[in-house]
A = this chain, B = another copy of it.
Amino acid sequence: MDRAGGGAHNRLMGDTYVGARTPRREDSRLLTGKARYVGNVRLPGMAYAVVVRSPVAHARLLGCDAKAARAADGVLDVIVPADAEGLRLPCVTLAPGQRMTSYPVLDTVVRYVGQPVAVVVATGPEAARDAADLLDLDLEELPAVVGPERAVEPDAPLLHPEWGANTVTDFVIGDPDCEAAFEGAAHVVEMTFRIGRVSPHPMEPRGVVASYDDGELTIRIATQAPHHVREHVADAFGLPHDRVRVVGGDTGGGFGGKEHVYPDEVLVCLAAMRLGRPVSWTESPGDRLVSTLPARAAVHRGRLALHADGRFAALHVDVLGDLGAHPSNVGTSPLAVTATTIPGPYRFERVAVRLRAAVTTTTPTGSYRGFGQPEATWTRERLVDEAARRLGLDPVELRLRNMIEPGELPCTTRMGQTYDSGDYPRALRTLRDLVAMKDDVPAKDDGRRRGVGYSCHVESTGLGPSMDMKAMGMLAGGYETAVLRMEQDASVTVSSGVVGMGQGIETTLAQLAADHVGVPIDRVRVVLGDTGTSPYSSIGSIASRSLTVGGGAVIRGAARLREKLLAIAAHRLEAAPGDLELDGSEIRVKGDPRSSVPLREVATLAWRGWDLPGGVAPGLEERVSYDPAACTFAYGAHAAAVAVDPETGAVELEGYWVVNDSGVLVNPSIVEGQLRGGVTQGIGMALTEEIVYSDDGQPITDYLIPTTREVPDIEVVLLETPSPVTPGGMKGVGESGTIGPPAAIGNAVAAALPELAGRVTDLPLTPQVLWRLRG
């Protein structure tokens, strides 16, 4: 591990916890069956809801006869579209030209299999399920539209006829003269890529328990963004924001799928408000497949222009995204992130992306770990490898020749992103050395074709600067607030608007607070995920920002708390604050061990309001916001070694290597865990996972998440270049692992099958896909 790095925000001298492999404190709950999952909530009088969904892809709902369902045993309520009139959820991120800014939670036109059409509430879940079968839906079917390429054909049926087209947005980002760069280029590589529709599968399904009492709606929900839920549900019902309390508990994995508010969840709140008793709903596996928002689905026509010497002249990608039935909460923004991150770690003279997005009669697409970046990396890195193959160059050498050198940083890309710090070539060279060690082991001669592939990326983390987000049309500020309170017993409570969802943020925030206040970590408690007690966070734990932005606020709050403690102690000890040191349980005058005051005494004075120096307010609670001036950029290089069975098209991963730099490592074990988990999801996206629809819009998926059988040992090397942007020097790492695998694996497959390399374009690379390529 490298800790040399430069940068203004290097570690504190004398850090005790930052950098240590502190055991994850949340695991004492998560691994012992004590996690606070929504499915474990039991409230007196709780009823159970089942969401009834459309069985067809596109239809007018002419009627919904609930008579039989209402009369069924145990049924308490049935909600049909007429009961939910006016209840809408917003499309938060709006693309240029996007007409739809909100959508009804129950509509009378259905546009995907799985769209909610009614809710049945009963005394038990079985009774609700049984009664749901009694609902009589009168559906007038309309033609399905599957795939964005079909959606933009002139004769495609229209999902929203009033728009006149299925295209939601069509605009260009980047150099307006990019096209011209291709005309005189020495080499142009052009490929069209189809990126499959995949779906986050957290361990804990989505779920909600809503209760309504004395004008207050309490929502216990698996979410990455409790305040986001609060705002959108309060606005939907016209409740004052303060009368909605959202309690997240332990969210059992999010991966982006839990950053949205779903119609299901609003409907369960409506049921609780109608009944005046708590209502519980948990997503079933069937629900998950059709209602939890999937992601990625896009077609990229990519072109890379090179000079004769191999230098990159221009990169152009025509992105056509599949929005599903309507723009979701995040709408086209994953596609926009694909565009802004398309340059990766390379110098290009020109870069542009044409970005189109279309609606189709499929489940709306949303957010998934990586958020457009695995797609960008796939397309760019496949183009680079194909260029190397055609030019007869070593793909690593071609990359290094075009790579931004550390001396060039900070630098702003053609897409307007300012890379802050790092050494991209070093990551790739380190990776090559790692892979070379594997090359020493001779491959088995088993008739399979073998290849090694590489991919490099630069990753936008730490969303983000408020003004940036406003430009993106997001209704959110990018800052985070931390509250640090020291009690009279010198214990410290940290509360933050970011959310624990298994990623270890409870531990890493405790490490930061313990070091920056100066107390033992077992005196620090971290409280997250409850709008009743957590500070406001408009966007929550998404976009690899919990540690960089949430942690940045904790560091600043800790510094303020420490400063106040030292000021009070200085007054008490008749010393200057600068002459004092805080050491775990006491504050003492440096070099004078007899002159000290216990921390408990200082804390007690503060709370009691006694003997405080002038201008110091009583209490010991610091509430500090950190509004980042810019995003901070992590980066990585990945390599995969594959063996492809030429008979079956089956791909086996024989090795996987990651070199990653996410700035200051607060907890290397957690960073490694995040990377390995992310790589595993990337492997799924590369090889096995896809939600497939028939032409009439029926999902016909056997959705295969990779198991230990598909995932090899993942070798991880961590570089550590501090971020000059973030207090503490951290960069995000939560999504990093997902970005490289599809491209590294695709390049490895192409290397194994050079005769087919130019046609390795579609994800996932299932046996069927490869087998067909051979034909």
A interface with B by C-beta (< 8 Å)? 29, 34, 42, 44, 214, 231, 234-235, 240-243, 466-467, 470, 475-479, 481, 485, 487-489, 491, 493, 523, 525, 532-533, 535-536, 538, 607-610, 617-619, 621, 623, 625, 627
Smallest CB gap from A231: residue in B: B488
Shortest CB-to-CB span from A473 to chain B, Å, is: 12
Do A234 and B467 touch across chains, with their CB atoms under 8 A apart? no
How long is the Cα–Cα vector from A488 to B618 in the complex, in angstroms?
A: 29
A481 to B620, CA, bound (A): 12
Task: Judge whether A607 and B538 touch: CB under 8 Å.
Answer: yes
Are A477 and B625 neighbours in the complex by a CB distance under 8 Å?
no
Asked whether A609 lies within 8 Å of B466 as measured between CB atoms, the reply is yes
Query: Are B609's CB and A491's CB within 8 A?
Result: no
Copies in the complex: 2
A242 pairs with B485, CB closer than 8 A: yes
Q: A488 with B241: in contact, given A44-B42, A476-B608, A532-B533 (CB under 8 Å)?
A: yes
Q: Which residues of B lie under 8 Å from residue A240 when comparing CB positions?
A: 487, 489, 491, 523, 525
A532: B residues at CB distance < 8 A: 532-533
The residues of B that contact A617 with a CB separation of less than 8 Å are: 625
Can you list 30 A-B pairs, Cβ within 8 angstroms, ordered by A?
Answer: A29-B214, A42-B44, A231-B488, A235-B489, A240-B487, A240-B489, A240-B523, A241-B489, A242-B485, A242-B491, A242-B493, A242-B525, A243-B525, A466-B610, A470-B610, A476-B608, A477-B608, A477-B610, A478-B609, A481-B618, A532-B532, A532-B533, A533-B533, A535-B619, A536-B607, A536-B619, A538-B608, A609-B627, A618-B627, A619-B625
> Using Cβ atoms and an 8 Å threshold, which residues of chain B touch A476?
608
A599 to chain B, nearest CB (A): 13
A241 neighbours in B (Cβ, 8 Å): 487-489, 491
CA distance A625 to B620 in the complex (A): 12
Bound Cα distance A85, B580 (Å): 40
Given the complex of chains A and B, what is the CA–CA distance between A493 and B475 in angstroms?
Answer: 22
A625 and B621 form a contact (CB under 8 A): no
Minimum distance in angstroms from A736 CB to a CB of chain B: 26
A705→B618 CA distance, assembly (Å): 42
How distant is A211 from chain B, measured CB to nearest CB, in Å?
A: 14
A610 touches B467 (CB 8 A): yes
Check if B608 sits within 8 Å of A475, measured CB to CB.
Answer: yes
Residues of B within 8 A of A478 (CB): 609
Which residues of chain B come closer than 8 Å to A533, judged between CB atoms? 532-533
Indicate whether A34 sits within 8 Å of B234 (C-beta atoms), given known contacts A487-B242, A627-B609.
no
Residues on B with C-beta less than 8 A from A234 are: 489
| Across-interface contacts of A466 in B (CB, < 8 A) | 608-610, 618
CB distance from A277 to the nearest CB of B (A): 14
> In the complex, what's the smallest C-beta–C-beta distance from A489 to chain B, in angstroms?
5
Q: How far is the CB of A628 from chain B (nearest CB, A)?
A: 11
CB pair A618 B479 closer than 8 Å: yes
CA distance A623 to B481 in the complex (A): 14
Provide the residues of chain B in CB contact with A536, threshold 8 Å.
607, 619, 621
Give the distance in Å from the alpha carbon of A241 to the alpha carbon of B525 in the complex: 11
Chain B residue contacts of A214, Cβ below 8 A: 29, 34
CB distance from A100 to the nearest CB of B (A): 21
Q: Cα distance A115–B394 when bound, in Å?
A: 88
Give A234 to B617 CA distance when docked, in angstroms: 25
State the CA gap A124–B142 with chains docked (Å): 61
Q: Are A481 and B625 in contact (CB under 8 A)?
A: no
With A and B bound together, what is the CA distance between A619 and B477 in angstroms?
Answer: 10
